[in-house]
Structure 1
Amino acid sequence: MCQLLGMNSVKPADLRFSLTGFAARGGLTDHHADGFGIGFFEDKACRLFVDAQPAATSPVAEMLKQYAIKSRNVVSHIRKATQGDPMRLENCHPFTRELWGRHWLFAHNGDLIDYQPESAGNYQPVGTTDSERAFCALMEELKQISPREPCSPDIIFETLCSLSERTAEFGVFNYLLSNGQSLYAHCSTRLWYLVREWPFSNASLVDADLSMDFAQTNDPEDRLCVVATQPLTRNENWQQLQPGQLLWIEQGRIVRQAQLEVSEAVRKKHEASLACV
């Protein structure tokens, strides 16, 4: 299935180090070659880049590795298609929609079987993926709770708990969601996170011959949280999420987390994914 990468930071952070290793998984060090995308926020709006070509050879990905991306919230995705034509740009993640005067970004890893949520019509898919249908349903539910004004952060999190639990009944539902302030991460089968903070250390990428001493590039008050399908570095303290775990991340730290119910079928897929590591 697909690969996810998300980042939330207390201050705008440079993502090029992580992106170099992550992009290699799109057809070079792994077989996820059905498209690539990244969205990064600048306050309430996001810049979105997608390409139907493999990330390892995509000119878009290559340009971004040279571009000094600095953002407090980033969502990226490398696609291994299960539903939707892989050659269609509209099926590339992440997807974006507006709610309460902000852009929201969403990327999904998994496969939702026979998933056809009802819609009030505010949010419609452009492409043909189960992932975009799930995102539209998510946005629809938040809008129904509060059509014009933002919900409180706690209500958003509790709504995501309920919706994630219901949607995961249809299959594997690993996802990342951000509104430019918070990053939400839900695990069905495989997802890891890392809080990078003082005292910073040296890190080496798993997928590329590249190391960085973060003590030389960060200040004591810097802090960021990175979430990925699989750890990006060899020598940092990555933590594995459990099936049904949902994280709310803000200012580079975990604000709240919840353990949701998961089906036996999804739990078995989680165990199978561990056997493949």
Structure 2
Amino acid sequence: MCELLAMSANVPTDIVFSFTGLIRRGGETGPHSDGFGICFYEHGGVREFKDYLPSAESKIAQFLTSYPIKSKVVISHIRQANVGQVSLQNTHPFQRELWGKPWTYAHNGQMPINAIPAPSAFQPIGQTDSEKLFCWLLSALREQAGVNSSVEQIAGLLMAMCGKINQAGVSNVLLSDGEYLYVFCSTKLNWITRRSPFGEAHLCDDDVKVDFSSVTTENDIVTVIATAPLTNNETWNQMLPGEFRVFKEGESVWSGQTNSIEHKKSNN
């Protein structure tokens, strides 16, 4: 299946180090060779970069490893296609507007597309089960919540919907409105929060290391979420199946556990 990457930070931060490790898995150290995408939130807008080529070979991906875009929220995805052709329209992350904000989403998993309820307010552009699920989640938010809804209300609603759809297949989810990062673990997600005192980190997929103490301040807080740990000398937190978390400015601000964590067997 695909792999996910996200970041939540309290100050604009670049994700070059983690992204460098992720894209190696897109056709070099891993089989996820059917495209990649990454979204950076900046000043109420989103910079979005996508390619249907393997991320390990993509000139766009190579450009991003040398161009440190700073953001407080980032969502990224490398694809191993199982539903829908290899094309830009089927490449994550997907994006829609809701309540005057750009919502972005990436998904790792597989489920029968007919098992996903028909979205009411948003429609897919491509053919993937992932995008249909995104449209259904946002449609439900539009119908059952509003611009003044609290993060607790939105998180509870999203967790309930993710738990429901998780019974039909595997569905690891990243979703953000640029302020909050919503994360649901169906089978496999890991996260790490880096804060002072910062130390050195070494990538699993490349001979690259960074001393974060030289590029941060004592007030910085940065959380990275990934399908599998990206570094081999740090302790990552493994999420439980059915676990839902919300991050804001690098901190975990809400968490819950669904009662429905069973899912049909999928290709892992």
TM-score in terms of structure 1 length: 0.93
Report the AA paired with residue 109 of structure 1. N
Q: Structure 1: 5+ residue runs without aligned partners?
A: none
Q: Does residue 221 of structure 1 match 2:205?
A: no
CA 1:181–1:263 in 2, change beyond 3 Å: closer, same or farther? closer
Report the AA paired with residue 81 of structure 2. A
Query: By how many angstroms is 1:264 displaced?
Result: 3.8
Tell me what 2:40 maps to: 40
Tell me what 2:107 maps to: 108
Tell me what 2:232 maps to: 234
Tell me what 1:118 maps to: 118
- Confirm or deny: 8 A CA contact 1:44 1:179 kept in the other structure: no
Query: By how many angstroms is 1:19 displaced?
Result: 0.8
Tell me what 1:132 maps to: 131
Query: By how many angstroms is 1:263 displaced?
Result: 4.3
Q: Does residue 71 of structure 1 match 2:68?
A: no
Tell me what 1:97 maps to: 96
How do 1:76-225 and structure 2 match up within 5 A? 76-86=76-86, 88-113=87-112, 114-120=114-120, 122-146=121-145, 149-225=147-223
Distance, in Å, in 2 between the alignment partners of 1:116 and 1:54 is 28
CA displacement, residues 154-202 of structure 1 (integer Å, 9 cap, x when unaligned) = 1111111111111111100001111110111111111000001111000
CA 1:220–1:160 in 2, change beyond 3 Å: closer, same or farther? same
Distance, in Å, in 1 between the alignment partners of 2:103 and 2:118 is 20
Over aligned residues, Cα RMSD in angstroms? 1.4
Report the AA paired with residue 57 of structure 2. T
CA displacement, residues 211-260 of structure 1 (integer Å, 9 cap, x when unaligned) = 00001111110001100000000111101000000110111011111111
CA displacement, residues 128-167 of structure 1 (integer Å, 9 cap, x when unaligned) = 00000000001101111245x3422111111111111111
CA displacement, residues 44-83 of structure 1 (integer Å, 9 cap, x when unaligned) = 2111111100000011101111112100000000000111
Q: Does residue 258 of structure 1 match 2:252?
A: no
Distance, in Å, in 1 between the alignment partners of 2:249 and 2:119 is 33
Q: Secondary structure at the match of 1:126?
A: coil
Q: Secondary structure at the match of 2:110?
A: coil
Distance, in Å, in 2 between the alignment partners of 1:141 and 1:265 is 21
Report the AA paired with residue 141 of structure 1. A
Report the AA paired with residue 226 of structure 2. A
Distance, in Å, in 2 between the alignment partners of 1:152 and 1:43 is 22
Among the aligned pairs, what percent are the same residue? 42
Q: Secondary structure at the match of 1:173?
A: strand
Query: By how many angstroms is 1:14 displaced?
Result: 1.2
- Confirm or deny: 8 A CA contact 1:43 1:180 kept in the other structure: no
- Confirm or deny: 8 A CA contact 2:145 2:154 kept in the other structure: no
What is the aligned length? 267
Distance, in Å, in 2 between the alignment partners of 1:63 and 1:31 is 21
- Confirm or deny: 8 A CA contact 1:26 1:54 kept in the other structure: yes
Q: Secondary structure at the match of 2:115?
A: coil
CA displacement, residues 88-131 of structure 1 (integer Å, 9 cap, x when unaligned) = 210000000001111011000000123241232x2100000000
Report the AA paired with residue 45 of structure 1. G
Distance, in Å, in 2 between the alignment partners of 1:201 and 1:59 is 31
Distance, in Å, in 2 between the alignment partners of 1:158 and 1:49 is 30
- Confirm or deny: 8 A CA contact 1:243 1:262 kept in the other structure: no
Q: Secondary structure at the match of 1:110?
A: strand
Distance, in Å, in 2 between the alignment partners of 1:261 and 1:33 is 34
Q: Structure 2: 5+ residue runs without aligned partners?
A: none
